[in-house]
């Protein structure tokens, strides 16, 4: 009977460990300025998990940052306003300013897998493909441990 309890304790520990190992590491924040009438830089390359912060640095003109595919939309941003979006998947994400798209106020966010963006090969620091399996494994351990404890209690009653 005691072994069941020990098993439950160790599964809980395993859950914590799996979350620690599989969890995402630090993510960066990158800035893009909105001016009259362009984004600067117009193309920005980031890593998965990074956040882009757009800031309207125009004197009087409101702008927006609006995803071409509906992924994000700041709505009207008056001068001085900021809007941020975190990119959690790789890909190329074109966007525009709703008001000045016709004037060529468009931009692109390129999201690369963590560690793949630089010239040198760095260890992956973002969320790895193992994050989700680890989390599910941890959850499975927790449920199994709970079920064992429950069965143990029923047997005693």
Residues at the site binding Cu ion, with contacts judged by CB under 5 A:
63, 97, 99-100, 105
Tokens of 132: 């989700």
> For residues 50 and 96, which CB has a smaller minimum distance to Cu ion in the complex?
96
In the complex, the smallest distance separating the C-beta of residue 143 from Cu ion, rounded to whole angstroms, is 51
Element (H, E) at 10: helix 2-22
> For residues 4 and 99, which CB has a smaller minimum distance to Cu ion in the complex?
99
CA–CA gap between residue 75 and residue 43 (Å, rounded): 20
Q: What CA–CA distances, in Å, run from 82 to 57, 67, 140?
A: 9, 16, 41
> For residues 15 and 97, which CB has a smaller minimum distance to Cu ion in the complex?
97
> For residues 35 and 137, which CB has a smaller minimum distance to Cu ion in the complex?
35
In the complex, the smallest distance separating the C-beta of residue 94 from Cu ion, rounded to whole angstroms, is 15
Evaluate whether 134 touches 21 at the Cβ level (below 8 Å): yes
In the complex, the smallest distance separating the C-beta of residue 91 from Cu ion, rounded to whole angstroms, is 24
In the complex, the smallest distance separating the C-beta of residue 109 from Cu ion, rounded to whole angstroms, is 17
CA–CA gap between residue 59 and residue 80 (Å, rounded): 9
CA–CA gap between residue 23 and residue 6 (Å, rounded): 26
């Amino acid at each position: 009977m005691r072994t069941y309890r020990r098993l439950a304790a160790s599964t809980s520990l395993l859950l914590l460990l799996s979350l620690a190992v599989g969890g995402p590491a630090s993510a960066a924040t990158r800035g893009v300025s909105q001016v009259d009438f362009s984004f600067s830089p117009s193309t920005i390359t980031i890593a998965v998990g990074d956040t882009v912060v757009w800031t309207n640095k125009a004197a009087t003109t409101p702008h927006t940052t609006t995803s071409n595919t509906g992924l994000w939309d700041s709505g009207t941003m008056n001068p001085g306003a900021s809007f941020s979006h975190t990119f959690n998947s790789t890909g190329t994400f074109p966007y525009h300013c709703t008001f000045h798209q016709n004037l060529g106020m468009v931009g692109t966010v390129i999201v690369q897998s963590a560690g793949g963006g630089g010239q040198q090969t760095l260890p992956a620091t973002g969320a790895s493909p193992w994050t989700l399996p680890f989390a599910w494994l941890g959850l499975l351990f927790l449920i199994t441990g709970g079920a064992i404890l429950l069965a143990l209690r029923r047997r005693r009653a």
